[in-house]
Structure 1
């Protein structure tokens, strides 16, 4: 979940990234292949997401499980098949505030927080770019369970590979991304409200 937020922040490094105006939201689909040491094949899942700057991210897994993860300024929740299985307030997650601020700054075109938290390498390929993010150990969001994030970026983030210590990795591919006028639909707004409760 944290790495997903970081990859959205990486849109700041594209040549002409999609920028969200106040009140707009970003929606799309995703597929995830998770490679785990000792497993012969990646674990595959699919779903959709909604990003509302200043409000949070709703990440909905649809197959093979209906798993909903929400990260917001006030906290993080996770639900399985409509039943909440976890709720952590921002007070219990010291990294959440700086991470949320990092994302918000990037979406507003302020890249300095990103460069304070990551070593950023950018390689252009015409209309797209490859961005590699390596977390800095002394950064405000230091200690993330990732060793590197590599994203292919055009107007939106198209794909991302998340490498973790120990050899595990995630490969995310994003589809059908679009910017829409807000506010978020009721289902997503309610999910964000639950994550923000104390």
Structure 2
């Protein structure tokens, strides 16, 4: 299940720059590509069958169109994930990072390429793989994605995105009847600093 963490994160990041109201799917997808860099803090709760309380974690993330994803979990333990279209590195605490390449896990990276289609307003690709429902309520937009192709339909039941100016929450219902809820806040879109660029090394 750990390898699907990257799936969850990628879905979140595709939607971190949505804004405005009365939107169509095309408008939303155009908004995905508005910013070159998006930063946010996150709070994540995983509701797992058999556990009385959710597993809670928190941290911060940066996504750069040029460099990829940097995701740093701070609590309950340190975890750093770095990802681009060819390479993913995950390190826990002071342990040496585990590196996965597109050659090692082509399915994972094909999934990332699929979601990257959102940045290009590729509605044909999205509609080919998901049943999409877009709605608005109480000054927020809601986008529901139900997978209709394999392997997505073997991993997820549905994915729900909710936001205002930016994505504020994603809820993932998986095929194991578990649920993951991730909330994003403190969004920033200024250019990367030199120090931040080194985080992707």
Note whether the superposition's TM-score is higher than 0.5.
yes
Shift of 1:192: 3.2
* Alignment partner of 1:154 is 2:164: yes
Where do 1:112-191 residues align within 5 Å?
Answer: 112-125=124-137, 127-138=139-150, 142=152, 145-182=155-192, 185-187=194-196, 189-191=197-199
**After superposition, what is the alpha-carbon deviation per residue over 1:24-64, rounded to whole angstroms, capped at 9, x for unaligned?**
21000000011111000101111001111243211110011
Structure 2 CA distance for aligned equivalents of residues 12 and 33 of structure 1: 22
Structure 2 CA distance for aligned equivalents of residues 26 and 13 of structure 1: 11
Greater RCO (Cα-Cα under 8 Å, separation 6 or more): 1
**Deviation larger for 61-70 or 118-127:** 118-127
Structure 2 CA distance for aligned equivalents of residues 94 and 176 of structure 1: 33
Segments of structure 1 that go 5 or more residues without pairing to the other structure are: 194-198
SS at match of 1:104: helix
Shift of 1:112: 2.8
Normalising by the residue count of structure 2, what TM-score does the alignment of the two structures yield?
A: 0.80
**Aligned match of 1:27:** 39
Shift of 1:180: 1.5
RMSD value, Cα: 2.5
Shift of 1:99: 2.8
Runs of 4+ in 1 over 4 A off after TM superposition: 10-14, 16-22
CA shift in 2, pair 1:144/1:5, >3 Å? farther
Structure 2 CA distance for aligned equivalents of residues 98 and 181 of structure 1: 28
* Alignment partner of 1:4 is 2:14: no
Structure 2 CA distance for aligned equivalents of residues 12 and 98 of structure 1: 23
